[in-house]
Chains A and B, each alone.
Chain A
Amino acid sequence: MIKSITRYSLSLLLTLSSLFAHRVNVFTKVKGELVECQCFYNDGKPVIEQPVQVTLSDGTVITKGKTNDEGFFVFSPGVREDLTITLTAGMGHMATTTVHKNDLPFFKEKSVARGSPSVMTDEKNIQANEQQDNMTEKQIREIIEQVVDEKLDPVIDLIQKQQRSHSLTTIIGGIGYIVGIFGLFIFLKNRKKK
């Protein structure tokens, strides 16, 4: 009995936040071979235990899942294609975002062969060199991405925070628009009367 009450209360608590929100957001970060989706309501609360679906541009579903307790959903796409991530948060709330294939460098279809064809004296040697070069390039890329991610993380967080909050100027602007629209209505109705 207590167990079922606890379970019911827990499921209720998990769905609670979706009922009140105006909007849900999905932000993605590509971290190496993984894509991290951060799902939250417009007031910053995480979207918990809600379904997320990842599709290709032709509509093929490549993965499905639910957000965790912190509103994250992490997956490895496995292909280098444009991805559409759809979050459904209940009570009519939904958000989609896309990850462009250029942002998924780890899923190259084929690495481009390099080196001068004129110096093909020892084929095995060249292949070994290319492999070594590719490895080095991959490692360098990984290190650069890691550093760039670390540097960019606070900037991205700041942008996300700004997107969540409503500035006072926008709110006052909105009131101004409302007054203006109804003012225009009075003007037009008055002109008709005259």
Chain B
Amino acid sequence: MHISEGVLAAPLLIAGAAGAVAGCGIGLKKMDLEKTPKVAVMSSAFFVVSLIHIPIGPASAHLMLNGLVGIILGWASFPALLVALLLQIILFQFGGITTLGVNTLVTALPAMVCGYLFARSVRSKNSTRAIIAAFIAGITGILLSGMLVAFCLIFTGEHFLPVAKVFIIAHTPVMIIEGVLTALIIGFLRRVRPALIGGIA
């Protein structure tokens, strides 16, 4: 989700920036020394994964993995995603500096929600429950991001429902791929390094 510069009005950009700063403030406060390398790894993962395009029909989808980022990092998703989005602006001109705050909120808020909703289930001893929770988290992350973009666009004169409807229909394949990927990664981490999952604080 990279809203371009010049699309949104100043009050929304300021509100987005304020929200992102507040989120990053809390995230940085909760980010201890041990957790920081994990944040850097997840930030890099988001940075790289959203460059991978998956051609589906006439469109070309890209992954986000913000559900996974939320499960693993919790509040630290904010600084992780902010840094990744900032570098995407500088290196690839995705989005823009003025929309950085809004874009951070659009990706990090759903990540946070996924963290709160699914982190516990993902850590549960029942592996089937954990995998299903991870799959739903993958879907939820991208779905909520799309809804937030549709909400932001209300202020530019677009109507929420048509944009949201088209978004959901168009993103269904990406959501499923994202869900499967999140489930696979969580399954792998549970076996290899369970300590990495969770720590939602």
Contact = CB atoms under 8 A, between A and B. Distances in A.
A92 B36 contact: no
Contact of A19 (B6, B87, B91, B166): B166
B54 to A, nearest CB: 9
A92 B4 contact: yes
Given A22-B62, A43-B60, A92 B37 contact: no
A23 B93 contact: yes
A178 B84 contact: yes
A91 B47 contact: no
B59 A166 contact: no
Nearest to A13: B58
Given A45-B60, A91-B163, A171-B51, A19 B170 contact: yes
Interface residues of B, number: 50
A12 interface: yes
Interface string A12-28: 11111101111110000
Contacts of A118: none
A65 interface: no
By secondary structure, the A interface counts as helix
A190 B33 contact: yes
Contacts of B62: 20, 22
Contacts of A14: 58
B50 A22 contact: yes
A186 B2 contact: no
Interface string A45-87: 1000000000000000000000000000000000000000000
A178 B170 contact: no
A115 to B, nearest CB: 49
B60 A20 contact: yes
Interface stretch (B38-46, B131-139, B186-194): B38-46
Contacts of B59: 16-17, 19-20, 45
Contacts of A121: none
B17 interface: no
Interface of A: 12-17, 19-24, 41-43, 45, 88, 91-96, 166, 170-171, 173-175, 177-179, 181-183, 185-186, 189-190
Interface of B: 1-8, 28, 31, 33, 36-37, 39-40, 43-44, 47-48, 50-51, 53, 57-62, 83-84, 87-88, 91-95, 99, 146, 149, 152-153, 156, 163, 166-167, 169-171, 174
Given A22-B95, A174-B47, A182-B40, 16 more contacts: A13-B57, A19-B167, A20-B53, A20-B59, A23-B4, A23-B94, A92-B1, A92-B8, A93-B7, A174-B88, A175-B44, A175-B47, A177-B87, A178-B84, A181-B40, A190-B33
